[in-house]
Chains A and B, each alone.
Chain A
């Protein structure tokens, strides 16, 4: 079975440009999570969806970040305008259910570099 699919794998762009990261969750999973990983802050939850509805976006750093999930098989994380401090690895994960005993399955991540 296909796992969580993210694109692009690498993105290098200049400060001020719009960046769009994409994620396809595992078919049938009803939860989708966006994480950011940096050396300084570790693995941080940005936002998560349940059945395409955003549940908790308290981890989204500021208004420059936005996320959508238009259907059960696709989600985007957008940064506009991008800044060098946004450089990080962004992971998407999905799970069947959420709570005590449901594992999250991570995609391979997008390594984002803002120059």
Chain B
């Protein structure tokens, strides 16, 4: 039931673009995206809801494809500060509802 993220790791030069995918075998109700820097807590980025919604946060945006049970995070013109590990969390409902996180995608931005 854990969502699968791809790629596991990516290395970019500053200014390049990146896409991180999050796929689930279960029906998606919502997808949460977080970024965690080394030794720090995960920090909330955005939430995507059912309906193919696309959201943006600075030069970071995301989409939600309910039919494909997938969400993608887009990082445009990456900055050094974007480095970190990105996690998607999918809301599942099995009796109680819970947020299940993917294994993370490590993003490294080099100057």
Contacts and interface: CB of A to CB of B under 8 A. Distances in A.
Interface in A6-54: 42-45, 48
Contact of A56 (B41, B43, B95, B104): B95
B62 to A, nearest CB: 14
Contacts, number: 49
Give the interface residue-count category, chain A: 20 to 34
Interface of A: 42-45, 48, 55-56, 59, 91, 98-109
B91 interface: yes
Contacts of B101: 42-44
Interface of B: 2, 29-30, 32, 40-44, 47, 49-50, 87, 91, 95-104
A101 B47 contact: yes
B41 A107 contact: yes
25 contacts: A42-B2, A42-B101, A42-B102, A42-B104, A43-B104, A44-B101, A45-B99, A45-B100, A59-B98, A91-B41, A99-B91, A100-B29, A100-B50, A100-B91, A101-B47, A101-B49, A102-B47, A103-B32, A103-B47, A104-B44, A104-B99, A105-B44, A106-B41, A106-B43, A109-B41
Contacts of A59: 98
Nearest to A103: B44
